[in-house]
Structure 1
Amino acid sequence: MAQNGNVVHELNYVLPNRFYVEIDSELTASFMQCSGIGFTMKKNSYAEGGVNEQERIYLGPVTYSDVTLQRGITDSLTFWEWAYGSLDPATPTKRRNINIVLFNQAGETMQCWTLIGAVVTGFKGPQLMANLPAQNATAAIEQVIVSYEGLRIQRSGGGGAMMNLTRDASGYFGSN
């Protein structure tokens, strides 16, 4: 509120052109497009006897859709180790809890999606052109497809603190 008693509306612009991937509390990659974050639940309807104006809905198992990140850059070894971890037959698949973070113009977290047990299931490199000068030492990525086992969404203040989910002895990530 301003000193003259009038309400001041401060705009908090979200920067929609960058989605950052955070692994182990480190921003490891930046992408211009992110799609597919979501889930569906199977529903079963049951008509209860004597209740004609409504039906009961029972929820079944949840299915998470794949996330597609497009047009990105990274120079992080952590990101590449995670992305290529599923290709090495000598090591178990490297599932990680990752955050996809959206910031506002002040650098504050506006939205954070935590993908639990995430693994890369698809990758496309960029179109390479030899006549363009190299701007820096980052590697371009055309598309990364990520599959995951669970989802947490936090409106603001997300990020590193949400990375503390670990698998239990049975191999599952615990619920909060």
Structure 2
Amino acid sequence: MSKNGNITQELNYVTANRFYVEIESQLTASFTECDGLGVQVKKEVLFEGGVNEQQRVLLGQSEFSDVTLRRGLSDSSVFWDWISPLMAQRTGNQAIKNHRRNVNILVFNQAGEIMQCWTLIGAIATGWKAPGLQAHATTAAIEELTLAYEGIKVTFKTKSGGASILEGRGQSGYFSSN
């Protein structure tokens, strides 16, 4: 109990091991790792003649890094079902029309409340890797899925976002964020 008698303050911290991933409107799997979540804004630095103590910084487009999800191998085929149609022969973008998802990465506090939700907008699987197998190994077999996405939405202290299969882009040319 805290000094002011409020237990919830002690349970309000977030640790890196309390997270879930939602794909197709459900908690899909327990993941052991989630790496690469981030954005980098491109910049151009200009120097002005005679101004030696400053520089001008012009901002450009945002670039989102790929996210890699890792989990212990299981009998769930959700990763393989998502990426295998992308390897098929296709004309144009027809084969990948319904393979984009909004994916939620949910982080919980010690009390089990959602503290933050990152929604990867228009995510698509761009890589899948089977676990390395060794006859003398005693560690869990880990498979991984790599996702590229078109945007990100961050919400705080929310309910789950209901990550969904995306039917197509809206009139604006972008995917909605749920």
Task: Give the TM-score taking structure 2 as reference length.
Answer: 0.70
CA offsets per residue over residues 125-155 of structure 1, 9 Å max, x none?
Answer: 235689xxxxxxxxx7521111111111223
Q: 1:151 to 1:124 in 2, by over 3 A?
A: same
Structure 1 position 98 matched with structure 2 position 103: yes
Give the superposition deviation at 1:85.
Answer: 3.8
Provide the C-alpha distance between the structure 1 equivalents of 2:134 and 2:47, rounded to a whole number of angstroms. 62
Give the superposition deviation at 1:26.
Answer: 0.9
CA offsets per residue over residues 68-121 of structure 1, 9 Å max, x none?
Answer: 112345665655533434223355221111111122333321221111111111
Judge conservation of contact 1:31–1:69 (CA < 8 Å) in 2.
yes
Secondary structure, in 3 states, of the residue corresponding to 1:86?
A: helix
Whichever residue aligns with residue 30 of structure 1, its letter is S
Matches within 5 A, 1:47-86: 47=47, 53-72=53-72, 80-86=80-86
Provide the C-alpha distance between the structure 2 equivalents of 1:170 and 1:67, rounded to a whole number of angstroms. 25
Structure 1 position 21 matched with structure 2 position 26: no
Provide the C-alpha distance between the structure 1 equivalents of 2:49 and 2:133, rounded to a whole number of angstroms. 65
Provide the C-alpha distance between the structure 1 equivalents of 2:176 and 2:164, rounded to a whole number of angstroms. 12
Q: Which runs of 5+ in 2 are unaligned?
A: 136-140
Q: Which runs of 5+ in 1 are unaligned?
A: 131-139
Judge conservation of contact 1:33–1:70 (CA < 8 Å) in 2.
yes
Provide the C-alpha distance between the structure 2 equivalents of 1:95 and 1:84, rounded to a whole number of angstroms. 13
Whichever residue aligns with residue 173 of structure 1, its letter is F
Secondary structure, in 3 states, of the residue corresponding to 1:82?
A: helix
Secondary structure, in 3 states, of the residue corresponding to 1:84?
A: helix
Percent sequence identity over matched residues? 53
Total equivalences in the alignment = 167
Provide the C-alpha distance between the structure 1 equivalents of 2:76 and 2:171, rounded to a whole number of angstroms. 30
Whichever residue aligns with residue 92 of structure 1, its letter is A
Whichever residue aligns with residue 146 of structure 1, its letter is L
Q: 1:146 to 1:72 in 2, by over 3 A?
A: farther
Provide the C-alpha distance between the structure 2 equivalents of 1:10 and 1:40, rounded to a whole number of angstroms. 33
1:115 is matched with 120
RMSD: 3.8
Judge conservation of contact 1:23–1:79 (CA < 8 Å) in 2.
no
Judge conservation of contact 1:31–1:73 (CA < 8 Å) in 2.
no
Judge conservation of contact 2:101–2:165 (CA < 8 Å) in 1.
no
Task: Give the TM-score taking structure 1 as reference length.
Answer: 0.71
